[in-house]
Amino acid sequence: MKKTSLKDLPSVYQVLLEIKDDISLNKNYLKFIINKELDKIRGEIKKGEISKSPQQLLVYIIDRVLIESAPKLVNIINGTGIVLHTGFGRAPFNGRALKGIADRLEGYVNLEFDLPTGKRGDRQDHIRDHLSAL
């Protein structure tokens, strides 16, 4: 096989066309991931560490983009017996509470707005008493 050159790299547009609707990510973030992978491969080509045809490069980049764009947080079983403060993130949410949060976050909220005064507020005001109670 001939030596891989930088000219063999696909364009971001080519990669996007091949991926089509396989990944439901923001286009700008998807382009960021593609460019990051292309930069890595450029470095490997310059060092002579990679030997692939243009089609193999395209498939390789698509595979890398699929891996990079996959959700990093997954559900696990916490078998440690410790509910809080583990490497497993946080305590699980109650389904009803989570739905309530999602309903509020669906539109605009008064996170940093003091409704009684009509002025800018402090985002901590909404949770200060709750945190103090803990």
Per-residue model confidence as pLDDT tens digits over 99-115: 887 887 777 778 788 88
pTM beyond 0.75: no
All structural domains of the chain with their residue ranges: 6-69, 105-133
Per-residue model confidence as pLDDT tens digits over 78-98: 677 666 655 666 667 778 888
Query: What are the DSSP calls for 24-83, one per residue?
Result: -S-HHHHHHHHHHHHHHHHHHHHTT-----HHHHHHHHHHHHHHHHS-S-------SS--
Q: What is the pLDDT of residue 44?
A: 93
How far is it, in rounded angstroms, from Cα 12 to Cα 4? 18
Q: What is the pLDDT of residue 87?
A: 65
How far is it, in rounded angstroms, from Cα 58 to Cα 36? 14
